[in-house]
Structure 1
């Protein structure tokens, strides 16, 4: 008698199961560990434009144990249809045998590894880690950053600014369900004096922050990842360079960090998160801007952490 087909092939995890494999603290720790691993190899990602304004991303990476590729589409037009803007998978292979071992939900990996990178950066560099946290943009990344900072840093107050009042209120409800207080605001710049932690998580179609941040501010800017995209004004970026500290996630930011490039900064000369992890970070005063553009190495860190459960099951 044939067995009934399953909804997911063996080794394929849906969004909830993928998230369960990637808890915030351990994921941030795995990202830090990856930056110490000399066997990691991450070629440049390929981005192929699609006919209707979308993009296809192919992002491979390997270390001494696993090889993985994230294959996702980004379709900005989906924002008005109810469909997910990011769709796809992360496929993980065993180096020794070449076997496919696991398939993770791509959007979940993207959301969690991006927020976990910001969490790691805040752990290492934020002058004031307890918040309040200002989240600009109330989509998937806004939710992920709120959750990561609540669970990973102990933040108990979150301010939310979004061009969509409905999305902002939904995120506020989610924040309250996480045990923190939430406040929806209409002016992100006006909220800056009240929030030492900031995460900008917008589609980066327009600048959302122009005001001068607090002297003890930590800003994680994650929305822009091409030279033409920006969430932060040039004047804000120049202020951070002159009066504080800027760190980028990887060397690739030198041709991807639109916020910084549009401010005329020499991004290639800016330290990376690897420098900070291997540091220590020695900044003593002034605000900190962490500019994150994304990197397949962060997906590899997520793949390594997700594979730990497989390895423990096979070798108890």
Structure 2
């Protein structure tokens, strides 16, 4: 009996090639409306503990065309072992028959769809093409966001804030081939930055400046109630949006700790539809949902089939 699977198991590079950011953003924009309308079923993720503050995340989702199941292990202690923080896979199935179609690299799907969601937030909420963006964090999500920004906004100035200047400089050197003006930084955000994207797993706020209408805030890294990248000063003065307002009630530590009114949190679909006040400051909190993995799987599967 052959042990070779009847469906492709793709590497990180092969998965990335099937998820170009422009097409992925468009697929996610469509999925955002489907998700809010109930056409994509994406229950809250199941979180199981692993040793050393790690977690195993089980995230299924289904629609009329496909079903997916993402299994991802997040192990913060891996940095000390010289290993990636995230490992996992996304399995893709035909909805009608249940037959497997693809196995995608989980961290690549997560990184690219998360960055694409941030770019959708910029598209919807900034009110123009960004010229100056600041990233706080130098990890894998920061890499995915730098690649996404380079793909959609080449020539952009991108300030990269690390815990140390040496770490920020190393990140900029690693990504020097991207068509961006990369500037390593630590400390306070440049006043000219139109977008600030937080990409850390900090348990203390890394940004808490007064909210202002000329700067869009995007919080990505804090995904547990005990984490908080954004401080209460920034949150209190902002219109609040989340990619998944239901999941955010349990996972968005920044918002949970700030004691916000959850009835006031709008969705990504609301942002894309223009349902907000452009004269007031805006804050977008990304917590992730398997609906976005399903959208990424759609994009990957369509491109895979087109190449056959």
Same fold (TM over 0.5): yes
What does the per-residue CA deviation read over 1:36-62, in whole Å, with 9 as the maximum and x for residues that have no partner? 335311111100011332100000001
Out of 206, 209, 218, the position equivalent to 1:208 is 206
Partners of 1:216 and 1:127 in 2: how far apart? 9
Task: State whether structure 2 residue 294 is matched by structure 1 residue 300.
Answer: yes
Contact 2:72 2:106 in 1 (8 A): yes
Aligned to 2:278: 284
Residues matched between the structures, number = 304
Partners of 1:164 and 1:127 in 2: how far apart? 32
Aligned to 1:152: 152
Q: 1:84 to 1:185 in 2, by over 3 A?
A: same
Partners of 1:268 and 1:175 in 2: how far apart? 40
Task: State whether structure 2 residue 225 is matched by structure 1 residue 227.
Answer: yes
Deviation (angstroms), 1:255: 2.1
Out of 10, 14, 33, the position equivalent to 1:13 is 10
Deviation (angstroms), 1:313: 4.6
What does the per-residue CA deviation read over 1:63-90, in whole Å, with 9 as the maximum and x for residues that have no partner? 1111100001010000122101100100
Out of 251, 257, 261, the position equivalent to 2:256 is 261
TM-score, with normalisation over the residues of structure 2?
Answer: 0.92
- With 58-67 and 43-52 compared, the bigger mean Cα shift is at 43-52
Task: State whether structure 2 residue 72 is matched by structure 1 residue 72.
Answer: yes
Partners of 2:60 and 2:7 in 1: how far apart? 22
Partners of 2:49 and 2:263 in 1: how far apart? 26
Deviation (angstroms), 1:155: 5.1
Deviation (angstroms), 1:132: 0.8
> SS of the counterpart of 2:89?
strand
Deviation (angstroms), 1:312: 2.8
Q: 1:225 to 1:161 in 2, by over 3 A?
A: same
- With 107-116 and 283-292 compared, the bigger mean Cα shift is at 283-292
What does the per-residue CA deviation read over 1:211-264, in whole Å, with 9 as the maximum and x for residues that have no partner? 225430011110111221100111221122xxxx22111121122211112111
Q: 5+ unaligned residues in a row in structure 2: which ranges? A: none
Contact 2:60 2:290 in 1 (8 A): yes
Deviation (angstroms), 1:205: 2.9
Q: 5+ unaligned residues in a row in structure 1: which ranges? A: none
What's the C-alpha RMSD, in Å, of the aligned pairs?
Answer: 2.1
Aligned structure 1 segments of 4 or more residues deviating by more than 4 angstroms = none
